[in-house]
Amino acid sequence: MYVGPLNVYSRLTTQRDRTTLTLYRINLKTMDKVNISEKLSQFNDFYNPRIVGELNGQYVKAVKLKGEFVWHHHDNEDELFLVIKGKLKMEFRDKIVEVMPGEFIIVPKGVEHKPVAEDEVHILLFEPAATLNTGNVENERTRKVLEKI
């Protein structure tokens, strides 16, 4: 049986022991930096987000886009799209916003949107862990289980 830090944690009785172990786990989890290009080099498929970071119940996801996504909205989550490479066209029902590398756009909950990538676009997404990529729509583009890289 694997006895890792999570199992050990429940057996610790003193606050000092728990604090020590919590600090140990924080060190294990967060003291490595993440190179975005290196993460993006690990996959080549489109519209299949990978989890590259986690904080405060949010995921940081890396994803490559090419072509049109589907119209959808998210009932409960705002989404942030940070463009790393290429030009993202974020279509709304009343306008289109072009987002360039080094720029981001936040789509508020409830707002219909359709990402469009005429050429290949690489982005980071910031959104709650529970967010489904196709929001209120389920189709062949829906990804319920995401790989962590």
Q: Report 79-138 residues binding Ni ion (CB under 5 A).
A: 79
| Least Å from the CB of residue 35 to Ni ion | 26
Q: Whose Cβ is closer to Ni ion: residue 47's or residue 79's?
A: 79
Q: Whose Cβ is closer to Ni ion: residue 16's or residue 93's?
A: 93
Q: Whose Cβ is closer to Ni ion: residue 33's or residue 95's?
A: 95
| Least Å from the CB of residue 90 to Ni ion | 9
What one-character DSSP code corresponds to residue 112?
A: -
DSSP line for 20-64: HHHHHHHHHHHSS---HHHHHTT---SS--EEEEEETTEEEEEEE
Cα gap 133→47, rounded to integer Å: 9
Q: Which amino acid is at 50?
A: R
| Least Å from the CB of residue 78 to Ni ion | 10
| Least Å from the CB of residue 113 to Ni ion | 6
Residue carrying the six token digits 């409830």: 110
Residue of 86, 142, 94 lying closest to 119 (CA atoms): 86
Q: Whose Cβ is closer to Ni ion: residue 21's or residue 128's?
A: 128
Which residues sit at the interface with Ni ion, rule CB under 5 A? Answer: 79
